[in-house]
């Protein structure tokens, strides 16, 4: 069996260390190293700062406030439904938020709000596919793999923190 080459490296960020994983097709994963359910790397993955450098540079620019859109080849792995949701995430403009219900409507699945939420929660490319921009219909911040303080930070960076957020975790 041939296994695809995977390369990774960790980078510091204002929200804690991030692990970037790439394959021959593009950026495959951004993981919060300290998240509740850490992702493990396959044994054949090799550390390669050079391979992840384009993603790292663009993420550094984003955190510095110098980048609003990412221009990277992406290769998230998921079901067809998840890929549809993740493509819709990519269409949420910088500095704006949407609700799970609105996102479900955007993909033509208005009744699939919970499924959209589940797909959002499995997004392998947070920040680049901006799942942090999806909030509750009441304006409250809802779950995020990197934690609510991270979600709050990202929305504040983009000046998109909803007025209804009570800063409660």
Catalytic residues: 131
Element (H, E) at 50: helix 49-63
166 burial (CB, 10 Å; 0-12 / 13-18 / 19+) is exposed
Are the beta carbons of 116 and 97 closer than 8 angstroms? Answer: no
H, E, C per residue of 96-138: CCEEHHHHHHHCCCCCCHHHHHHHHHCCCCCCCCCHHHEECCC
What share of residues in the chain are helix, strand, coil (percent, to 5)?
30, 15, 55
Tell me if 18 sits within 8 A of 30, measured CB to CB.
Answer: yes
């Amino acid at each position: 069996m041939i296994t695809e080459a995977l390369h990774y490296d960790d980078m510091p960020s204002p929200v804690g260390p991030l692990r970037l994983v790439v394959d021959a097709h593009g950026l495959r994963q951004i993981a919060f190293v300290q998240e509740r359910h850490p992702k493990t790397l396959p044994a054949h993955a090799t550390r390669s700062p050079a391979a992840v450098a384009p993603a790292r540079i663009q993420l550094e620019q984003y955190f510095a406030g110098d980048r609003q859109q990412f221009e990277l080849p992406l290769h998230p792995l998921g079901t067809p439904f998840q890929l549809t949701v993740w493509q819709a995430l990519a269409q949420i403009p910088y500095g704006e938020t949407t609700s799970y219900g609105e996102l479900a409507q955007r993909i033509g699945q208005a009744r699939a709000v919970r499924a959209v939420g589940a797909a959002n929660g499995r997004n392998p490319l947070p920040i680049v596919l901006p799942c942090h921009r999806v909030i509750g219909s009441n304006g409250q911040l809802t779950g995020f793999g990197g934690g609510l303080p991270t979600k709050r930070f990202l929305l504040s960076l983009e000046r998109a923190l909803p007025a209804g957020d009570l800063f409660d975790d």
